[in-house]
Amino acid sequence: MKILKIDHLGIAVKSIDNGKNFWTDILGLPFEGTETVVEQKVTTAFFPVGESEVELLESTSPEGPIAKYLEKRGEGIQHVAFRVENIEKALSYLKEKGVLLIDEKPRKGAGGARIAFLHPKATNGVLVELCERQAGKDALPGQHDG
Ligand code: ZN
């Protein structure tokens, strides 16, 4: 498998509206709006930082994974996302290596990405997301990369 870079850090927040001011007003990161991923019961907001991004995650339902995370641990870094060249190849490689996967097949993430999560039991307690994005998207100025 080929990892290209850290794509983003996912941070669970109670409210994007209340939480985003630190990232925008104080750190000066651009805010490009929010996107709700219905299947994952989450609203996301991406803030580009150089080659990577910060992703704030707010739950849309008390049953969602982010709501459960907040209940257990409170706000904080919920996952680390690596961009991979080919997510199917990466998943079959990891499966072959016996790595415990949450998603054996890619699912739809924010910004049209294809994503899959690895189990924290296999990754020193870190929820790791793999994501694959359309080639060339980075090159378009001002286009959301989330
Ligand atoms: Zn993510």
User: If you measure from the C-alpha of residue 96 to the centroid of ligand 1, how many angstroms do you get, rounded to a whole number?
Assistant: 24
User: If you measure from the C-alpha of residue 127 to the centroid of ligand 1, how many angstroms do you get, rounded to a whole number?
Assistant: 10
What domains does the chain contain, in order, with CATH numbers? 3-135 (3.10.180.10)
Token pair for residue 85?
């060249």
Q: What angle do CA 102, 127, 122 make, to 5 degrees?
A: 65
Query: Which sign does the torsion angle of CA 81, 77, 33, 110 carry?
Result: positive
User: If you measure from the C-alpha of residue 79 to the centroid of ligand 1, how many angstroms do you get, rounded to a whole number?
Assistant: 7
User: If you measure from the C-alpha of residue 58 to the centroid of ligand 1, how many angstroms do you get, rounded to a whole number?
Assistant: 12
**Residue 134: what pLDDT?**
81
**Please, what is the average pLDDT of the chain?**
91
User: If you measure from the C-alpha of residue 135 to the centroid of ligand 1, how many angstroms do you get, rounded to a whole number?
Assistant: 18
| Chain segment 54-73, per-residue pLDDT in tens | 999 999 999 999 999 999 99
Q: Is the pTM of this model over 0.85?
A: yes
Residue among 40, 52, 55, 32 nearest 109 (CA):
40
